[in-house]
Structure 1
Amino acid sequence: MPPLPPVTQALMIICSAVFFAQTLLRFLPLEPLFALWPLGSGGFWPWQVLTYAFLHGDFMHLFFNMLGMWMFGSELERLWGPRRYLQLLAASVVAAALVQLVFTMLTGSGAPTVGASGGLYGLLLSFGMLFPNRVIVPLIPPIPMKARTFVLVFGAIELLSGLWGPSGVAHFAHLGGMLGAWLMLSWWRGRLPFGGPPRRR
């Protein structure tokens, strides 16, 4: 196994450290200040469109997000380098936050959002677009499938789950992360909805 590239490693360490600070130092006001609160809740601050991604609700939430970051983010960082990798992640996280803010405004939800899942779904979409025929085996279900199939299946699950009704999971934020990644990749390549000459991937 190749070593973890630096940005992926740093992000995994930061998310893990923040989670254990949440767990062990409960007197620290991390969630009130850094979770993504709905616009009408009175708790929203602009920096939360980024900081919410470093907080996680429980250990399994953290575990699966860090596993996905290791599986998909490591290879993308080695391909793109730290700068573009961070740009893609930031676009995914911010787009996920904006979609979730619109969703909570429309539904009247007052619950905060936490987790790196929006960024992870952006990485997932990017991996599927760059390596569509790569065969991967997810943990759930443990069935070998091509990366593009994996992206389509999980994207469809998120859409249907979001339309099904409230579940405590920010399904539309996950879709927003995929949208942010797609927009960033399109901008790099000079494709619609962006004009101009093709850009280096």
Structure 2
Amino acid sequence: MPCFKGIRLVESSQTDPKRISGRSFQLELDWIRRTPVTLETLIIAVVLYASCAFQATAEHRRFDEIQRDWGAIQTQHRSEPHEGVRRTRESEIQGPFELWNGEWWRVPLTAFHHHHLSHLLLSSLGLLYFGRILERLWGRFRMACFLFSAISIPNLLELAGGHGVMGLSGALYAVLGGLAGQRAFDHEHPPALSIEGLFCGLSVMALGFLTTAWDAVSVSNRPHVVGFVYGMAAAWLCYQRFRQISLPRFVTILLCLILIPGFLLVANPFWIGRYHWYRATVQRTPPSAERALERAIQRDPSLTGAWLSLAEASGKREGILKSWQQLITGLAANPSSESLIESARRLWRHLDLHQRDEAKVMLGSAFGSRAEIWLNSIRSTVEVSAPLLPEYHTNHLGAEIDLSGLSLDQKVKLDWPPQTPESPWKQSPQENLEGNQAVEGESL
């Protein structure tokens, strides 16, 4: 009987729900104590997203505007109005304007912002799974040093191209790269991440490339690739090449060699034409703005909006022929730009006979043997807007007139209104003759 009671006592202790729940709670607390860096990183991202959402709702403002106030780096658009030119996408300046104003401190902060809730959930779940494995392997101090650099380095390449970026996905793939590097280069310890987990992470990265190629979802894949390569490189240096260099020392060296210069460079990307175009819009003096526009078209001749702004600035300072020269030079670099063609046609109408002769010479130097074709294209296109007619008269508009071969100086005889037996505008022969004579005297 005592033996039987002992057996029953052991069985009851192993199956006691209170003790099982106590051990589970102890394991959860142990996990939190062993991986605080990963958990604190996720808490910052979640709290920041919730705070921005609450403020946007309370102040009735856009969510992305609130995020920019809290340090996010986003691609913004600014349209520069030009006289006589329709607003198009090519006349817009695009870029992270706050960063280009010198606010380099946004680079590490933008990683904690996310576009939407699903973006936050995917990044958080991935970092929670892979981050706790790497933090158990490396420890909290080494993980903090690695994660600090992994938050910023993957985003530098995207920012160097003049694009906004947000999210922890770059840091997530840096952690995945660190675990992959541990599998490949650490021959003293067993792999911390299974091959199935590594394959799952790489499959998600490949899925991002496929969705972008199919135009299903626009994904910034460059931070993912850079983060994974950086994690692999950090693991290779620590496990294989320079084992005597600790990870904190490596991050300190990296901070001095890459991060600080990288922050300053992406805040002043002198190699991007759109950056100089934006700087021209915030310059206080016209000569400074004109020099910035010249640098913009030197870096990127395809910026038709910068050509239009430079033509307007040159025209105010040196006259209409200088404006014409800038337009023709820009048109030679962008022959399919409707904005530049419209501006050239508008400017041609303001030239007198002597100025038109000089303008033809400039056109010949820019286009060579095709100058005559471009001159006819600039001079001959005339837009005629017919008056709005009642619906029951639309079948009596008369024959169509082709104006594509006419110049601005030619006169056209138009029989208007059209004369048909059912026409409500039918006039007497004398009235019709007077109307035609009046039209003949006009020049299109």
Opposite residue 146 of structure 2, the aligned amino acid is: L
Partner of 1:176: 226
Q: Which amino acid aligns with 1:21?
A: S
TM-score, with structure 2 as normaliser: 0.36
Taking CA–CA contacts closer than 8 Å with sequence separation of 6 or more, which of the two structures ends up with the larger relative contact order?
1
Equivalent residue for 1:187, pick from 217, 225, 237: 237
Shift of 1:153: 2.9
How many residues of Structure 1 are paired with residues of Structure 2 in the alignment? 182
1:119 aligns with 2:171: yes
For residues 106-139 of structure 1, what are the alpha-carbon distances to aligned partners after superposition, in whole Å with 9 as ceiling and x for unaligned? xxx5xx321111111111222233356844xxxx
Q: Is the 8 A contact 2:114 2:120 kept in 1?
A: yes
- 2:302 aligned partner: none
Asked if residue 13 in structure 1 is aligned to residue 65 in structure 2, the reply is: no
Mark the CA change 1:198 to 1:166 in structure 2 (over 3 Å): closer, same or farther: farther
The C-alpha deviation readout for 1:43-78, integer Å capped at 9, x for no partner, is 112122211111111211111111112111112112
Q: Where in structure 2 are the equivalents of 1:1-201 lying within 5 Å?
A: 2=28, 3-4=31-32, 5-26=35-56, 27=59, 29-37=66-74, 40-44=95-99, 45-102=103-160, 104-105=161-162, 109=163, 112-131=164-183, 134-135=193-194, 146-161=196-211, 167-189=217-239, 191=241, 196=242, 199=245
Q: Which ranges of structure 1 fall in alignment gaps of 5 or more residues?
A: 136-144
Opposite residue 181 of structure 1, the aligned amino acid is: G
Residues 180, 90 of structure 1: alpha-carbon distance in 2 compared, 3 angstrom cutoff: farther
CA distance in 2 between partners of 1:50 and 1:16 (Å): 16
- Structure 1 residues 32 and 187, CA gap change in structure 2 (3 angstroms): farther
The structure with the larger Rg is: 2
Return the letter of the residue paired with 1:169: V
On the 8 A contact 1:97/1:173 being kept in 2, the answer is yes
- Distance in 2, matches of 1:187 and 1:164, equals 37
Structure 1 pair 200–164 and aligned structure 2 pair: CA distance change class (3 A): farther
C-alpha contact 2:179 2:192 (8 A) present in aligned 1: no
For the residue of structure 2 that corresponds to 1:25, the secondary structure is helix
Distance 1:158 1:125, change over 3 A: farther
> Deviations 1:84-107 (Å, cap 9, x if unpaired)?
1122222322221112113x43xx
Letter in 2 for 1:170: S
Tell me the distance in 1 between the aligned counterparts of 2:156 and 2:135: 24
Partner residue in 2 for 1:139: none
In structure 2, what is the Cα distance between the partners aligned to 1:162 and 1:95?
Answer: 22
